[in-house]
Structure 1
Amino acid sequence: MMQRSTPQIPLQHSFRQVHSTNSLFTDMGQRMFLDFKANYYSSACQGESNNTLQSNLTAYKLVKNYSESYTVSIESHIGDGNATSIMEDVCTRENSILYLLLMFGTLWLGVMLYNFNKTPYLNANKREALADYALPVAVIVLSFIGSYIFRDVHLEHFRYDDGNDVFKLAPLETLPLPAVFACMGLGFSLSMLFFMDQNIGSAMVNNPCNKLKKGPAYHLDLLVVALMNGFLSIFGLPWMHACLPHSPLHVRSLADVEERVEQGHVYEIIVKVRETRLTGLFSNILIGLSLFLLPYPLAYIPTAVLDGLFLYMAVTALNGNQMFERISLFFMEQAAYPPNHYIRRVPQRKIHKFTGLQILQLLVMCSFGFAPWPYMKMMFPVALLLLLPVR
């Protein structure tokens, strides 16, 4: 049976991919926490008093859709001439409930369609088509539900600022001399992060399990990344490089695999990968053309659906990740262990010790990457580089 591949990710790259996946989960968790704090656990929903007496003139504030605020002045003279105003907070717990529905609905529908080729429904071509377009279908369906069916619930939607000039030179000449040297130090650590992420992504793409026929081009890729980021830095635009999990997922979407059964466990081997530049070229052209979809219809996409999109990427990126599989062994009966090569050759105690050390390193990296202090976050590339001797 031909379907999407799930190649085994090499040991030296699985840690970095788990960290990238954990970053996606953490970002979505933070956004969900802020949404519940602003809507579900607001002062109005906690039964606090909504009426306050103030002297002189105050404002009546009502939060509308897209988080726009309108202020209406109210003045009421009572007795001695003092003004009374009403500060009204609206309890919007339905926003948080719908936020969860759209976010996890996007994740559920995307993952279900992603694995649809493993079901007996429809024929093989239709199953493969649904699996290939699982994410776009999930985003469109849940965006329709959030923007039309629940249009009376005022959710936050995709927004952008069209007042800024994109291709505007950054005012580099205004930097003082000490700031220039500080930027050089930060730029060096950032270049190390680019170097490691680019090479890890390239190595995962060129994994022998993928059976690619065309050879790798690590040095050429780094040269192109350097030239692009040099141009983007001049204009203050976001940097670009091969990243996780997008690069391995791109290869996976172009691969055909066969299912094999060994000792009752089903695993997949890659038959071939369609090595072409057209998919990357056309996908980036379509990304550029999406500028013409602003503000509509892209403004109809709730931010909860976008969060579900990133959750989908995090979940699907764990397929074939060796570190994630070894973590799952902690909660699995020993008789049900998959017949992997390292399980057959390495004692169970050593596997668990090694996995525990990797979890400890992951926690250290998360303490740098998710720290509330910006200067500690800047040390993340250095901390990642220091893990190489440990490895």
Structure 2
Amino acid sequence: MSGFGITIAMITMIIVANLTTSVYTEPLVMPDKFQHTATKRESWYIDMFDTSYTSISIPLLAISAVIPAFLVSVLIIMESHLTGVLVRKPGHRLVKGCTPNWDTFLMGAILLVCSLLGLPWLCADSVRTIEHIKTLTVYSKYSAPGEKPRVLYIHEQRVTIVLVHVLVGLFILFPSVIQSIPVAVLLGVFLFLGFLSLSGLQFVKRFKMLFMSAKYFPDYSFTSKVRTAKIHTFTVLQLILSALMFGIKLSPGSFLFPICVIGLALIRRYAMKSIFSEEEIEELDPEESGSELDESDHE
């Protein structure tokens, strides 16, 4: 039943929210029918050569669109690549090969169609992808005392993910059901999934170690190969950069966020080498690092 915990919790809280009439809960807003939000539009197709809404010529308009298009492309490609790295971790024991180039091509084709029709853009969903993998994971039933169950294999198939998106699409036909879901319930689910996905990140583990004595450090590979001072220095630098990125995201200059993401890669590639050795960087920030499957979830 643990695999349906989130679904059961959502249904329960939706029932409670609808029965508790004395407490106001903001409902999810959804149009009663499937239509574009721009009421003046007569067609779904967006004419790229229509200049009736601007005095800028088409060549100049195309040139000025290059910069924001580049920034959005960086975000979408990096998010898709990050999700692929999390999925392809060796600990997941995947057998079938991955197709990152094909995924990127499909993402670009879908974005092109969505742009021509004025539909929302799609992007990779790292948190939901990891949760989907967890539900398809089979763990060992027997292990030594104190030892976590091992990942035996993952049911690699496309049926479940296709059904999920089909059901999401079918909900468009039932707007009354969507409108009965309180926003607080959705935010709670997103917050829970976000915190759950942090459990296997090495950064979170090292952050906890900031408040621990060295003799109580868990038995990780980097704790035996990197000095404590270097571990804490690397963690503090990551905290500062994370806070800086969060501040930029909330500021009026948030459109520069993709450039800052590229800057992080450059800092990791070049600036960090003046403080840490190659071996230390590989231990503290390996290229294949990411969220591990939490074996405790299936118990």
**TM-score higher than 0.5:** yes
SS in structure 2 of the partner of residue 331 of structure 1: coil
More strand by share: 1
Q: CA deviation at 1:163?
A: 6.1
Q: Which residue of 2 aligns with 1:146?
A: 17
Q: CA deviation at 1:154?
A: 2.7
Larger radius of gyration: 1
Q: Which residue of 2 aligns with 1:157?
A: 27
Tell me the distance in 2 between the aligned counterparts of 1:201 and 1:164: 30
Tell me the distance in 2 between the aligned counterparts of 1:267 and 1:366: 34
Q: Which residue of 2 aligns with 1:287?
A: 168
Tell me the distance in 1 between the aligned counterparts of 2:257 and 2:143: 41
Q: CA deviation at 1:365?
A: 1.2
SS in structure 1 of the partner of residue 171 of structure 2: helix
SS in structure 1 of the partner of residue 151 of structure 2: strand
| 1:361 is aligned to 2:241 | yes
Q: CA deviation at 1:180?
A: 3.3
Q: CA deviation at 1:219?
A: 0.6
Q: Which residue of 2 aligns with 1:132?
A: 3
**Residue segments in structure 1 that go unaligned for 5+ positions in a row:** 1-129
SS in structure 1 of the partner of residue 23 of structure 2: coil
Counterpart of 1:160 in structure 2: which amino acid? M
Tell me the distance in 2 between the aligned counterparts of 1:317 and 1:336: 24
Counterpart of 2:244 in structure 1: which amino acid? V
Query: Relative to structure 1, is the Cα distance of residues 338 and 257 closer, same or farther in structure 2, using a 3 angstrom cutoff?
Result: farther
SS in structure 2 of the partner of residue 193 of structure 1: helix
1:145-192 deviation digits (Å, cap 9, x = unpaired) = 1111x1132321111124662481235323533443322210011101
Quote the RMSD (CA, aligned, Å): 2.0
Shifted more, 310-319 versus 329-338: the winner is 329-338
| 1:382 is aligned to 2:259 | yes
SS in structure 2 of the partner of residue 256 of structure 1: strand
SS in structure 1 of the partner of residue 150 of structure 2: strand
Q: Which residue of 1 aligns with 2:153?
A: 272
Counterpart of 1:328 in structure 2: which amino acid? K
Query: Relative to structure 1, is the Cα distance of residues 379 and 293 closer, same or farther in structure 2, using a 3 angstrom cutoff?
Result: same
| 1:168 is aligned to 2:38 | no
Tell me the distance in 1 between the aligned counterparts of 2:79 and 2:162: 21
Alignment of 1:67-146 (within 5 A): 130-146=1-17
1:83-124 deviation digits (Å, cap 9, x = unpaired) = xxxxxxxxxxxxxxxxxxxxxxxxxxxxxxxxxxxxxxxxxx
**Residue segments in structure 2 that go unaligned for 5+ positions in a row:** 37-42, 269-299
SS in structure 2 of the partner of residue 155 of structure 1: coil
Count of matched residue positions in the alignment of Structure 1 and Structure 2: 255
Counterpart of 1:153 in structure 2: which amino acid? V
Tell me the distance in 2 between the aligned counterparts of 1:314 and 1:356: 22
Tell me the distance in 2 between the aligned counterparts of 1:321 and 1:199: 17
Query: Relative to structure 1, is the Cα distance of residues 325 and 311 closer, same or farther in structure 2, using a 3 angstrom cutoff?
Result: same
Q: Which residue of 2 aligns with 1:343?
A: 223
| 1:233 is aligned to 2:97 | no
Counting aligned pairs with the same residue, the percent is 23
Counterpart of 1:383 in structure 2: which amino acid? C
Q: CA deviation at 1:268?
A: 4.5
Give yes or no for contact 2:30–2:178 (8 Å, CA) kept in 1.
Answer: no
Counterpart of 2:78 in structure 1: which amino acid? M
Tell me the distance in 2 between the aligned counterparts of 1:250 and 1:283: 10
Counterpart of 2:212 in structure 1: which amino acid? M
Counterpart of 1:232 in structure 2: which amino acid? C
Give yes or no for contact 2:203–2:235 (8 Å, CA) kept in 1.
Answer: yes
Alignment of 1:215-254 (within 5 A): 215-254=97-136
Q: Which residue of 2 aligns with 1:319?
A: 199
Tell me the distance in 1 between the aligned counterparts of 2:121 and 2:103: 14
Shifted more, 221-230 versus 355-364: the winner is 355-364
Which residue, out of 183, 190, 193, partners 2:72?
A: 190
Tell me the distance in 2 between the aligned counterparts of 1:181 and 1:344: 53
